Chain A
């Protein structure tokens, strides 16, 4: 069974640009959540999707958005990039239903974004 796949793995952008990151969950998993990891703030929850609906959102500005498609693949977008957006962006999928993140999490390898 294939794991969680994130693309691209590495990318470099400049301030003001936008970026879209993709996450393909484990087959059969309908819950996808996104996280930002920086040396200063550690891991922080961005948002979670279940069956194409955003169920929860962390404390990030509106420049951070996401969506989930009918095949459970998810994308997150960051517009008007700032230097502080440089981070490792991780997604995780879960088979949990109902209280979706009450299920075990399976993480992708992450997308490492550098903003210059």
Chain B
């Protein structure tokens, strides 16, 4: 079992829909990152969370440390939101390394 599991793997939605991407992890963490990767490779950091909830524009990220789960929400989705969204966790023991989920490919249709 991977340390970081994302769901769904692929998501297609109509413009304007509310989007939820989930991330579950199995290790103790000190932080969780949500990243966005557009075709061509460039990665942008969206959020870094260690507790609670953060909001930036139409994006909201939440984390429940007890349940080892985080969600990324996109409100009023737009075709420019089409990208791969990646969850990554920073473990809080031993070799503190960043472990990545396999990503969720989001396509927003106009």
Contact among B42, B95, B103 for A110, CB-based, below 8 A? B42
Asked if A44 lies at the interface with its beta carbon under 8 angstroms from chain B, I say: yes
- Consensus secondary structure, chain B interface: strand
Please judge, given known A-B contacts A43-B86, A90-B41, whether A99 and B96 are in contact too, CB under 8 Å.
Answer: yes
A72 to B40, CA, bound (A): 26
Are A109 and B42 touching (Cβ within 8 A)? Answer: yes
State the Cβ distance, B98 to closest chain A Cβ, in Å: 5
Asked if A61 lies at the interface with its beta carbon under 8 angstroms from chain B, I say: no
Number of A residues, CB within 8 Å of B: 24
A43 to B33, CA, bound (A): 13
In the complex, chain A residues whose CB is within 8 Å of the CB of B99: 45
Please judge, given known A-B contacts A101-B90, A102-B90, whether A45 and B42 are in contact too, CB under 8 Å.
Answer: no
Interface string of B29-49 (1 = CB under 8 A from A): 011010100001111110010
Are B45 and A42 touching (Cβ within 8 A)? Answer: no
Are A104 and B98 touching (Cβ within 8 A)? Answer: no
Are B48 and A42 touching (Cβ within 8 A)? Answer: no
Please judge, given known A-B contacts A42-B102, A43-B86, whether A101 and B96 are in contact too, CB under 8 Å.
Answer: yes
State the Cβ distance, B22 to closest chain A Cβ, in Å: 17
Are A105 and B33 touching (Cβ within 8 A)? Answer: yes
Closest Cβ neighbor of A111 among chain B residues: B41
Q: Offer 20 A-B interface pairs, CB within 8 angstroms, sorted by A.
A: A33-B98, A35-B98, A42-B100, A42-B103, A44-B100, A45-B98, A56-B96, A57-B95, A58-B97, A99-B96, A101-B98, A102-B30, A102-B90, A103-B48, A104-B45, A104-B48, A105-B45, A107-B43, A109-B41, A109-B42
Ranked nearest first, the 3 interchain pairs of A and B with the lowest CB-CB distance are A43-B100, A107-B43, A110-B41
